[in-house]
């Protein structure tokens, strides 16, 4: 095996890196319920109230956060787990239409790429979630501002101290400076949000796929 041929010193350093990565993520996760648990519930209530009133969740982000948007939208529209069958929940990742994204960025600018979609697709009572590990992505900031002008509620999933968190109606901020750690925790938050929203809408009563929302 390759590991058997590895220099003992290198092996130790690599194992130390792995341990440190898991430890930092575990520490950030441990802090989250104390500092951000209420904000997670607040965000879940915003989303659930919007959906129950006929609204939808829109998501935007860049890079790994764009992938998170697609992941989270899929879990709302499809399902989170097989433990609860329920109707589809309306969620839309603004990061997945390559034809629009490339056309708009080519003809206009990258900074307004999500603004344009919010203006086209957003309606009063909808919710926009902006995901940013840096907390300062200009196209997310502009999208949040545009959404608020349209009476679209806004949620920021970001790092502590970022400008996006200050703009949003509800901010879930991760206490870390490392992008990888923030992304690890963001995924846990996204799953928790979906689970809580399902519970708020459907409660303990199983629903059939394709059925009506309560």
pLDDT band of 7, cuts 50, 70, 90: low
Q: How far apart are CA 189 and CA 14, in angstroms?
A: 28
Give me the sheet containing 153-159, strands edge to edge. Answer: 91-93, 57-61, 127-131, 153-159, 170-174
Q: In the structure encoding, which two tokens stand for residue 149, read together?
A: 């002008």
Q: Establish if 213 belongs to a structural domain.
A: no
pTM: 0.88
Q: Establish if 118 belongs to a structural domain.
A: yes
Domain count, the chain: 1
Q: What is the pLDDT of residue 37?
A: 72
- CATH code where residue 135 lies: 3.40.50.10490
Q: What is the CA radius of gyration of the chain?
A: 19
Q: What is the pLDDT of residue 191?
A: 96
Q: Establish if 209 belongs to a structural domain.
A: no
Q: Establish if 166 belongs to a structural domain.
A: yes
Domain that holds residue 179: 2-202
Backbone angles phi, psi at 170, to 5 degrees: -135, 130
Q: Establish if 208 belongs to a structural domain.
A: no
Q: Establish if 48 belongs to a structural domain.
A: yes
Q: Establish if 146 belongs to a structural domain.
A: yes
Q: If phi over 0 gives left and psi between -120 and 50 gives alpha, with beta otherwise, what is residue 210?
A: left
Q: What is the pLDDT of residue 165?
A: 95
pLDDT at 132 over 70: yes
Q: In the structure encoding, which two tokens stand for residue 144, read together?
A: 């949040």
Q: What confidence tens digit (pLDDT) does each residue in 172-193 have?
A: 999 998 999 999 999 999 999 9
Q: What confidence tens digit (pLDDT) does each residue in 91-125 have?
A: 999 999 999 999 999 999 999 999 999 999 999 99
Q: What is the pLDDT of residue 211?
A: 55
Q: Establish if 207 belongs to a structural domain.
A: no
Q: What confidence tens digit (pLDDT) does each residue in 43-64 have?
A: 999 999 999 999 999 999 999 9
Q: Residues near 201 by Cβ (< 8 Å), separated by ≥ 6? A: 48, 51, 52, 86, 89, 213, 214
Q: What is the pLDDT of residue 206?
A: 43
């Amino acid at each position: 095996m390759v590991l058997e041929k590895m220099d003992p010193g290198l092996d130790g350093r690599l194992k130390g890196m792995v341990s440190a990565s898991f430890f930092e993520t575990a520490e950030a996760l441990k802090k989250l319920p104390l500092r951000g648990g209420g904000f997670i519930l607040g965000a879940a209530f915003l989303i659930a109230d919007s959906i129950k009133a006929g609204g939808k969740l829109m998501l935007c982000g860049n890079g790994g956060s764009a992938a998170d948007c697609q992941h989270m939208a899929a879990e709302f529209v499809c399902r989170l787990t097989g433990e609860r069958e329920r109707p589809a929940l309306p969620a839309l990742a603004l990061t997945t239409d390559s034809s629009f994204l490339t056309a708009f960025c080519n003809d206009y600018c990258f900074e307004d790429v999500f603004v344009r979609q919010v203006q086209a697709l957003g309606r009063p009572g909808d919710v926009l979630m902006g995901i940013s590990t840096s907390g300062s992505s200009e196209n997310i900031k502009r999208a949040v501002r545009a959404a608020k002008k349209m009476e679209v509620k806004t949620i920021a999933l970001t790092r502590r101290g970022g400008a996006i968190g200050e703009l949003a109606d509800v901010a879930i901020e991760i206490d870390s400076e490392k992008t990888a750690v923030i992304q690890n925790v963001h995924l846990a938050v996204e799953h928790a949000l979906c689970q809580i929203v399902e519970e708020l809408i459907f409660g303990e009563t199983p629903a059939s796929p394709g059925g009506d929302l309560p």
